[in-house]
């Protein structure tokens, strides 16, 4: 994936006896963020620019984050600055900076001061309503000598973006009202040191209410708005998972068993409606055709 340079001259000021600014604040100038292949610049879609704030940890000698712990870095012009002053770091001390973007305490549990680097995790409870689901980005500077004057932060996406489109025309005409993706694991643990999700548990219906009209010629139409894009924990969907799309008075359903939601990827579920034969009545008047639905999974 390509990387977007958000500000020029990437540099992360670290505490060193000789190099620190006199005011004692930690400042971060210029960070990178990985792009999804085709980012959509909306709230629910992947971030394509850095948020105005993110939180940061600084692990001392890969031990506990006793130097910085969930500290808010706020953008001021071209830099992100901490609100707290810090003491200088002893010579020979190594630091590891870790950043987390779009922090939301309502859905996230993050490491405290007594948590070592090896045990640091993000526990995330993914909301059911797609409008409440946001992108999550993280960055690991790697081990840096405390006497260094800069360190790099490259943020990467750790959720999977899921959107729904029609594939071809010949779709049932009518108003789309509800989209459900059922039996999705919603509680997961992301380990800082490995960059992997583990222990994805629970079964929740991810949902949104659409407001658009399909015609029989609605080919490659996005169902719902950009803000209703789902941002889900990476996982393989179970055999009980279904995609349900309600058009008019009919809910069309298809299995999502085995569909893989991959970290940092966009997945488009392209729904394919298949018309069954028209039903003739006794006076030879054809009724509207019935449809069934299946899905083509496209990874971008």
- Any idea what the CATH number is for the domain that residue 231 is in? 2.60.40
In this prediction, residue 151 has a pLDDT band, given cuts at 50, 70 and 90, of: low
Asked if residue 69 has pLDDT above 50, the reply is yes
Q: Are residues 18 and 147 in the same domain?
A: yes
In this prediction, residue 27 has a pLDDT band, given cuts at 50, 70 and 90, of: low
Residue ranges making up the domain that contains 231: 161-185+202-299
CA distance 145 to 162: 40
Q: Are residues 122 and 8 in the same domain?
A: yes
* Residue 257: predicted pLDDT: 96
167-181, 234-248, 276-290: least confident range: 276-290
Q: Are residues 134 and 119 in the same domain?
A: yes
In this prediction, residue 76 has a pLDDT band, given cuts at 50, 70 and 90, of: confident
Q: Are residues 154 and 173 in the same domain?
A: no
Q: Are residues 172 and 124 in the same domain?
A: no
CB 57 within 8 A of CB 71: yes
Region of 244 (left: φ > 0; alpha: ψ -120 to 50; beta: rest) is beta
Share of the chain above pLDDT 70, in %: 78
6-15, 41-50, 86-95, 109-118: least confident range: 6-15
In this prediction, residue 5 has a pLDDT band, given cuts at 50, 70 and 90, of: very low
Q: Are residues 166 and 267 in the same domain?
A: yes
When the pLDDT of each residue in the chain is averaged and rounded to a whole number, the result is 80
CA distance 144 to 122: 22
Residue 194 domain flag:
no
- Strand 32-34 and strand 11-12: pairing? unpaired
Q: In this predicted model, which residue has the larger pLDDT, 21 or 212?
A: 212
CA distance 87 to 66: 11
Q: Are residues 153 and 244 in the same domain?
A: no
At 86, give phi and psi (nearest 5°). -135, 150
CB 14 within 8 A of CB 148: yes
pLDDT tens digits, one per residue of 226-280? 888 999 999 999 999 999 999 988 999 999 999 999 999 999 999 998 876 554 4
CA distance 184 to 165: 19
* Residue 4: predicted pLDDT: 34
Q: Are residues 31 and 52 in the same domain?
A: yes
| CA 184 to mean position of chain CA atoms | 15
Q: Which of 98-102, 129-133, 185-189 has the highest mean pLDDT?
A: 185-189
As for how many domains the chain has, the answer is 2
The beta strands (E) that lie in 185-234 are given as: 187-191, 196-201, 204-214, 230-232
Q: Are residues 147 and 170 in the same domain?
A: no
A 10 A CB-CB count for 165 gives 17
In this prediction, residue 127 has a pLDDT band, given cuts at 50, 70 and 90, of: very high
CA distance 220 to 245: 15
* Residue 31: predicted pLDDT: 58
Residue 192 domain flag:
no
Asked if residue 89 has pLDDT above 80, the reply is no
Q: Are residues 120 and 35 in the same domain?
A: yes
Helix (H, G, I), strand (E, B) or coil at 169: coil
Q: What is the rounded average pLDDT of the residues 70-88?
A: 80
Residue 193 domain flag:
no
Asked if residue 185 has pLDDT above 60, the reply is yes
In this prediction, residue 32 has a pLDDT band, given cuts at 50, 70 and 90, of: low
DSSP string, 115-162: --GGG-EEEEE--SBGGG----EEEEEEEEETT-S----EEEE-SEEE
Q: Are residues 142 and 233 in the same domain?
A: no
Residue 38 domain flag:
yes
In this prediction, residue 212 has a pLDDT band, given cuts at 50, 70 and 90, of: confident
In this prediction, residue 45 has a pLDDT band, given cuts at 50, 70 and 90, of: low
* Residue 7: predicted pLDDT: 27
Q: Are residues 147 and 177 in the same domain?
A: no
């Amino acid at each position: 994936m390509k990387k977007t340079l958000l500000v020029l001259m990437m540099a992360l000021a670290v505490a060193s006896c000789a190099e620190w600014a006199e005011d004692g604040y930690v400042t971060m100038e210029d960070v990178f963020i990985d792009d999804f292949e085709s980012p959509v610049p909306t709230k629910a879609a992947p971030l394509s620019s850095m948020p105005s704030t993110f939180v940061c940890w600084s692990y001392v000698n890969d031990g506990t984050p006793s130097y910085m712990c969930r500290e808010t870095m706020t953008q001021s012009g071209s830099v992100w600055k901490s609100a707290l002053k810090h003491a200088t770091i002893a010579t020979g001390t190594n630091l590891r900076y870790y950043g987390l973007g779009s922090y939301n305490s309502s859905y996230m549990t993050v490491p405290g001061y007594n948590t070592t680097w090896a045990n640091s995790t993000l526990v995330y409870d993914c909301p059911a309503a797609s409008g409440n689901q946001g992108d999550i980005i993280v960055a690991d500077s790697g081990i840096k000598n405390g006497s260094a004057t800069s360190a790099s932060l490259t943020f990467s996406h750790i959720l999977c973006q899921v959107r729904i489109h029609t594939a071809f025309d010949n779709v049932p005409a009518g108003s789309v009202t509800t989209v459900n993706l059922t039996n999705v694991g919603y509680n997961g643990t992301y380990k800082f040191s490995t960059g992997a999700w583990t222990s994805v548990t629970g079964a929740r219906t991810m949902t949104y209410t659409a407001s658009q009209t399909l015609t029989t010629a609605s080919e490659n139409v996005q169902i719902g708005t950009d803000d209703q894009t789902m941002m889900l924990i990476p996982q393989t969907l179970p055999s009980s998972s279904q995609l349900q799309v309600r058009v008019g008075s009919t809910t069309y359903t298809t299995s999502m068993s085995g569909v893989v939601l991959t970290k940092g990827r966009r997945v488009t579920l392209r729904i394919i409606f298949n018309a069954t034969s028209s039903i003739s009545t006794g006076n030879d008047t054809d009724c509207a055709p019935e449809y069934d639905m299946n899905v083509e999974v496209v990874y971008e």
